[in-house]
Amino acid sequence: MTATALFCGDIAFDVALRVPHHPDADQKTHAFENLVSAGGVAANSAVACARQGVATALLAVVGDDVLGAYATEFLAAKGVDVMGVTTTPGMTAVSVCTLADDGEKRLVYTSSVSQYPPPERLRDADLDGVDWIHTSCLHPGAAAVLAERARATSIRMSIDLEPAALAHGTEALAPALHGAEVVFLNEQATESIGDLRTFSARHRLKSVVCTRGLRGAALMTSSGRIAVAPPPAERIVDTTGAGDCLAGVYIARSLSGADPLAALRAAVASATSACGHLGAQGGYPDRKTTDELVAEGWPEGLGPKSL
């Protein structure tokens, strides 16, 4: 495997629809904009990373249906190495999101065989040439297998710690979290954890990135904490996948040699821009666009400069 960044986790078949309003029972409405794509936390983050010009691979499972084949081909077309995506009998996850003009969003998601690779697959995965692994903790036991391999080979690892994963309890998550380079938390997960410094020290985390919705993100390390506000946005259309975009861009910029502050500013600018488009991946910027967003959002000499 020649990839630098390896993303491990879920794939879904995503359908995003913009509608004038959500229909009542036994009624229908017509969408005036739609987007069909591959989705899922791991897949989204992988695309965001690949768009930044970093060699990126995905380790995942899809069902043996037409949706799994479509999702795999879609990701390959986005520049993601899908050699690590395998097929298993069953259905690929489907996500349907409807977004009304008033901003109300409704999401329906099916669980399936494409949620997370099994532990035995992770024990045999080829990690040659991988410099960074990103995964979730929705399946703590499987994630722990990958984390143990990363620690043994000194590969940097980051975790997207979703609120659903916290339901497993911190003891179950500990083997996967221990010594992580970065743990990404959304607002709900941050609130559930509470004392981030104690949490970080307990698991010996090197850094924590807390996404803050339309307020940007905050980075916490042993050196301190810094918040990065988002640049001005022309419009907010859909926030789906913004956190995945942030994680993917942060990883890409870190692998490209950026310091944590520069990586976070690029990630926040990219995620904010993505919210101006329908769907999770519809507005993920490439590297040149991200550089322009950073320059326009934070002119030289303005804003925080160090941790």
Instruction: Pull the structure tokens for residue 168.
Output: 């497993």
Residue 101 is assigned to a structural domain of this protein = no
In a domain, 106, yes or no: no
Let me know: does 238 contact 106? Beta carbons within 8 Å.
Answer: no
- Note whether residue 24 is domain-resident: no
Q: What share of the chain in percent tops pLDDT 90?
A: 68
**Does the pLDDT value for residue 138 go beyond 70?**
yes
Q: For residue 293, is it within any domain? A: yes
Residues 127 and 142: their CA atoms lie apart, in Å, by: 16
Q: Is 28 within a domain?
A: no
More confident residue, 152 or 297: 152
Choose the weakest-confidence range: 62-66, 228-232, 273-277: 228-232
CATH of the domain at 165: 3.40.1190.20
Residue 277 resides in a domain: yes
CB atoms under 10 Å from CB of 126, counted, come to 13
Distances (CA, A) of 225 to 81, 265, 306: 35, 14, 10
Q: Specify the number of domains making up the chain.
A: 1
Q: Flag whether 100 is in a domain.
A: no
Q: Does 70 fall in a domain? A: yes
Residue 303, pLDDT > 60, answer: no
Note down the domain range covering 119: 5-10+39-92+112-297
Alpha helical stretches, state H, the chain: 41-51, 66-77, 119-124, 140-152, 163-166, 170-177, 187-193, 196-202, 242-255, 260-274, 287-297
Q: Give me 111's structure tokens.
A: 């669980």
CA 193 vs CA 4, 180, 197, 199: distances in Å: 31, 16, 10, 7
- pLDDT category at 300 given cuts 50, 70, 90 is low
3-state DSSP assignment of residue 245? helix
Tens-place pLDDT, residues 54-104 = 999 999 999 999 999 999 999 999 999 999 999 999 999 999 999 888 778
